Amino acid sequence: MRRTVRGTSTAALACVAATLLTSVAAAAPGPGSPTVGDPYYPNAGNGGYDVSHYDIRLTYQPTTDVLSGTTTITATTTQELSRFNLDFGLRVSSVLVNNVAATFSANAAGDGELVVTPARPLAKGAPVTVVVAYNDRPSTVKINGFTSWVKTADGALAVNEPEIASWWYPSNDHPTDKATFDVSVEVPDSVVALSNGTLVRTTKNRTGWTRWWWRSTQPQATYLTSLEVGKFEVNRQTTPDGKPFVTAYGADLGDSLGAAKASVERTPEINEFLATQFGPYPFEAQGGVVTTAIGFALENQTRPVYGARGFIAGSNASLVAHENAHQWFGDSVAVGRWSDIWLNEGFATYAQYLWSEHVGEGTAAELAQYVYDSKPADDPFWQVLPGDPGADRQFDAAVYDRGAAAVHALRSQVGDEKFFQILKTWQATKKGGTGRIEEFTALAERIAPNRPVRQLLKVWLYTPGKPFAGPNGPTAR
């Protein structure tokens, strides 16, 4: 889903026949690109089409780790296509393109590329429906040498960044092609199946099994689409502004349960605060899932997932502030390239500083200054560039902490009024899409034209070594 092409499919439909005829005279249709060309992840995403919706309809059996079913992809072609790629690693049994069987090659090189050749070439600008049927054990599947699906004692988790989709549904796996989602997963009655957005309904079609149907109605990046199966305490509530608020706590949280609840149940209050800083909460639902099965947290759209160890030392509203700040910075406005990760982690970490100040703990200025003062100039920390850390260091502490100090340095330079104007304008103009650091820099320059914003971000994001001036400016100390 690229916002610029939304709404063209009806017109495109009327042109299919004409386009097919003229294509005879034009160049022969070629294959879609097997990549979007993101330098950090050369296999990520594909070219030649634009997905608008995924309808994922699966059955999962935890005792065997067998995942089976279909994903139906609704897309529009952006060129004539003799064949195209999806990103997917599981064993495929059939592919239909516009209801006609297609030939396919599934993960033949172990690189997670599903190559689909339709019976006849596809015209440019045409609606296309692709149905992929599959059946595999995701925990046994390696893509580019990695596993990403997590099998647990009573279920499984599809929660990871930047790559998880290919272990459970075929996709155009890059944040630049967002789509809406229906995720319907049938599991044994003893467990639950959670995903993003709103629970449309649960149904029981056969003895011993329940189907959980979740729906995301706003553009959502593929890696932010999650599945959690297992024994969870599920709480369905409503936020003060009337949105579904679904939280789920793993049945094995033990001593962490109290602290997890004391933190995650505050999500609506935290989002209400963040909305005063960034603009309106961007999605139709809120929530959180806490599990012992992962050692990190991830900002899955509408419903972040928290590793229980985040609450091992007691309640941690700061972590909840971080993951929910990503609903704005990361989810509603996603990275245009994975090298733009500062736009996610720098701002989500800075949101923790804002929350800290809001609740009367350390101020944002103090916390940013602490990052600066606590690392001597020869610390390798200062050699990682938040603006282009490299794929191996995408989640390095410097992306978070130097990244957040960089945000504060910008604030010190332009002043509070322009700073929050920049953040809110960024959110309002990029909502539902993607952004690049260069675009953010240009916006900041436009709002604060007589400040050396570009030079400041160059020093903080792209220059190795400890910046000469701290995040509160050269006169602050």
- Over the window 391 to 430, marking each residue x when it contacts ligand ARG by CB under 6 A and - when it does not, the resulting string is ----x-----------------------------------
Peptide bond into 31 cis (omega under 30): no
Does 253 engage in binding with ligand ARG (CB under 6 A)?
no
Q: Is the CB of 297 or the CB of 320 nearer to ligand ARG?
A: 297
Residues 320-379 that bind ligand ARG (CB under 6 A): 322-323, 326, 348
3-state secondary structure of 270: helix
Q: Is the CB of 49 or the CB of 350 nearer to Zn ion?
A: 350
Q: Which does 126 bind (CB under 5 to 8 A by kind): ligand ARG, Zn ion, none?
A: none
CB 251 within 8 A of CB 83: no
Q: Is the CB of 184 or the CB of 286 nearer to ligand ARG?
A: 286
CB 66 within 8 A of CB 60: yes
How near is the Cβ of 348 to Zn ion at its closest, in Å? 4
Q: Which does 298 bind (CB under 5 to 8 A by kind): Zn ion, ligand ARG, none?
A: ligand ARG
CB 316 within 8 A of CB 323: no
Answer for which of 6, 30, 153, 296 binds ligand ARG (CB under 6 A) is 296
Does 160 engage in binding with ligand ARG (CB under 6 A)?
yes
C-alpha distance from residue 102 to each of 15, 99, 105, 129, 427 (Å): 23, 9, 10, 12, 41
Token reading at 352: 């923790």
Strands 92-97 and 100-101: antiparallel
Does 221 engage in binding with Zn ion (CB under 5 A)?
no
CB 56 within 8 A of CB 86: no
Q: Which does 297 bind (CB under 5 to 8 A by kind): ligand ARG, Zn ion, none?
A: ligand ARG
| Residue 56: strand pairing partners | 71, 183
d(Cα 10, Cα 264) in Å, to the nearest integer?
A: 43
Cα-flanking dihedrals φ and ψ of residue 225, to 5°?
-90, 125
Answer for which of 36, 90, 298, 456 binds ligand ARG (CB under 6 A) is 298
Q: Is the CB of 326 or the CB of 337 nearer to ligand ARG?
A: 326
d(Cα 246, Cα 285) in Å, to the nearest integer?
A: 8
d(Cα 348, Cα 404) in Å, to the nearest integer?
A: 8
For the chain, the maximum distance between any two Cα atoms, rounded to a whole number of angstroms, is: 71
Q: Which does 296 bind (CB under 5 to 8 A by kind): ligand ARG, Zn ion, none?
A: ligand ARG
Q: Is the CB of 365 or the CB of 397 nearer to Zn ion?
A: 397
Stretch that binds ligand ARG, among 120-128, 276-284, 295-303, 383-391 (CB under 6 A): 295-303
Cα-flanking dihedrals φ and ψ of residue 109, to 5°?
-100, 10
- The CB density around residue 70, as the number of other CB atoms within 10 Å, is 17
Does 348 engage in binding with Zn ion (CB under 5 A)?
yes
How near is the Cβ of 11 to ligand ARG at its closest, in Å? 38
Q: Which does 395 bind (CB under 5 to 8 A by kind): Zn ion, ligand ARG, none?
A: ligand ARG
Stretch that binds Zn ion, among 221-229, 273-281, 312-320, 343-351 (CB under 5 A): 343-351
CB-based burial label for 99 (10 Å; 0-12, 13-18, 19+): exposed
How near is the Cβ of 471 to ligand ARG at its closest, in Å? 20
Write out the residues near ligand ARG by the rule CB under 6 A: 160-161, 296-299, 322-323, 326, 348, 395
Write out the residues near Zn ion by the rule CB under 5 A: 345, 348
